[in-house]
Amino acid sequence: MSSGALAGIKVVEFGQVVSAPYCAKLFSDFGADVIKVELPAGDAARRMGPFPGDVPNPEKSGLFFINNTNKRGVTCDVASDAGRALFLRMLEWADILIENNLPRQMQKWGLDFETLHAANPRLVVISITPFGQTGPYSAWNGIDLNAYHLSGASNRYCGRPGEAPLEHGTFSADYFGAVTAATWGMGACFGREQVGGGQQVDVSCAEAIAATFVGGQNIGGYAQDGIFDKRTGVGMPQGAPATIVPCRDGHVWMLALEPGQWNGLRKVMGNPEWADLDLFQDMRARAENADLIYPFIEEWAMQHDKMEIMEKCQAAGCPITAVFTIAEAAEHPHLAARDYFVDIEHPQLGVVKNLGVPFKLPASPGGPSSPAPLLGQHNDEVYRDIAGLSEEELDRYKAEGAI
* pLDDT band of 199, cuts 50, 70, 90: very high
Q: Is residue 343 one of the residues assigned to a domain?
A: yes
Report pLDDT for 231: 78
pLDDT digits (tens, 9 = 90+) for 364-379: 888 999 999 999 999 9
- Both 248 and 118 in one domain: the answer is no
Please state whether the peptide bond connecting residue 358 to the residue before it is cis, i.e. omega within 30 degrees of 0: no
Over 80: is that where the pLDDT of 203 sits? yes
- Both 269 and 316 in one domain: the answer is yes
Whole-angstrom distance, CA of residue 45 vs CA of residue 51: 11
- Both 291 and 373 in one domain: the answer is no
Over 60: is that where the pLDDT of 208 sits? yes
Over 70: is that where the pLDDT of 223 sits? yes
Over 80: is that where the pLDDT of 233 sits? no
* pLDDT band of 254, cuts 50, 70, 90: very high
- Both 55 and 20 in one domain: the answer is yes
124 CB neighbour count, 10 Å cutoff:
26
- Both 145 and 284 in one domain: the answer is no
H helices then E strands: how many in the chain?
18, 11
Over 70: is that where the pLDDT of 216 sits? no
Over 80: is that where the pLDDT of 229 sits? no
Over 80: is that where the pLDDT of 219 sits? no
Whether the CB-CB separation of 198 and 192 falls below 8 Å is answered with yes
- Both 207 and 285 in one domain: the answer is no
pLDDT digits (tens, 9 = 90+) for 354-365: 888 888 888 888
Q: CATH no. for residue 256?
A: 3.30.1540.10
Q: Is residue 314 one of the residues assigned to a domain?
A: yes
- Both 263 and 135 in one domain: the answer is no
Residue 97: strand pairing partners: 12, 125
Q: Is residue 34 one of the residues assigned to a domain?
A: yes
Whole-angstrom distance, CA of residue 37 vs CA of residue 49: 20
Range list of H helices, 33-171? 62-67, 81-91, 103-108, 113-119, 144-150
Q: Is residue 233 one of the residues assigned to a domain?
A: no
Beta-carbon contacts of 48 under 8 Å, excluding residues fewer than 6 positions away, are 17, 61, 63, 64
Using N-to-C axis directions, what is the helix angle for 81-91 and 391-400, rounded to 10°? 130
Report pLDDT for 168: 81
Q: Is residue 294 one of the residues assigned to a domain?
A: yes
Over 80: is that where the pLDDT of 215 sits? no
Report pLDDT for 1: 36
- Both 303 and 384 in one domain: the answer is no
Whole-angstrom distance, CA of residue 329 vs CA of residue 341: 11
Give the H/E segment covering residue 352: strand 350-355
Q: Which domain holds residue 83?
A: 10-214+338-400
Burial (CB < 10 A; 0-12, 13-18, 19+), residue 383, is buried
pLDDT digits (tens, 9 = 90+) for 108-152: 999 999 999 999 999 999 999 999 999 999 999 999 989 988 888
Whether the CB-CB separation of 251 and 307 falls below 8 Å is answered with no
Domain end marker among 328, 353, 379: 328
Domain end marker among 300, 328, 356: 328
Q: CATH no. for residue 386?
A: 3.40.50.10540
- Both 39 and 172 in one domain: the answer is yes
Cα angle: 197, vertex 72, 142; to 5 degrees: 70
Task: Report the relative pairing of strands 200-204 and 242-247 from DSSP bridges.
Answer: unpaired
Using N-to-C axis directions, what is the helix angle for 306-315 and 259-268, rounded to 10°? 130
pTM of the model: 0.92
pLDDT digits (tens, 9 = 90+) for 20-64: 999 999 999 999 999 999 999 999 999 998 999 999 999 999 999
Over 90: is that where the pLDDT of 212 sits? no
DSSP assignment letter at 371? P
Report pLDDT for 41: 96
Smallest Cα–Cα separation from 124: which of 144, 88, 95, 148? Answer: 95
DSSP assignment letter at 245? E
Domain end marker among 276, 302, 328: 328
Whole-angstrom distance, CA of residue 209 vs CA of residue 220: 14
What is the total count of domains within the chain?
2
- Both 207 and 312 in one domain: the answer is no
Whole-angstrom distance, CA of residue 279 vs CA of residue 167: 38
pLDDT digits (tens, 9 = 90+) for 75-88: 999 999 999 999 99
- Both 143 and 284 in one domain: the answer is no
Whether the CB-CB separation of 51 and 60 falls below 8 Å is answered with yes
- Both 205 and 272 in one domain: the answer is no
- Report the largest interatomic distance among the alpha carbons of the chain, rounded to a whole angstrom: 87
Beta-carbon contacts of 236 under 8 Å, excluding residues fewer than 6 positions away, are 242, 243, 287
Coil, strand or helix at 186 = helix
Residue 14: strand pairing partners: 99
What does the buried/exposed string (b/e) look like for 93-114 if buried means 16 or more CB atoms within 10 Å of the residue's CB? bbbbbbbbbbbeebeebebebe
Smallest Cα–Cα separation from 297: which of 319, 282, 275? Answer: 275
Whether the CB-CB separation of 210 and 153 falls below 8 Å is answered with yes
Q: Is residue 149 one of the residues assigned to a domain?
A: yes
Q: Is residue 177 one of the residues assigned to a domain?
A: yes
* pLDDT band of 18, cuts 50, 70, 90: very high
Q: Is residue 209 one of the residues assigned to a domain?
A: yes
Whole-angstrom distance, CA of residue 303 vs CA of residue 306: 10
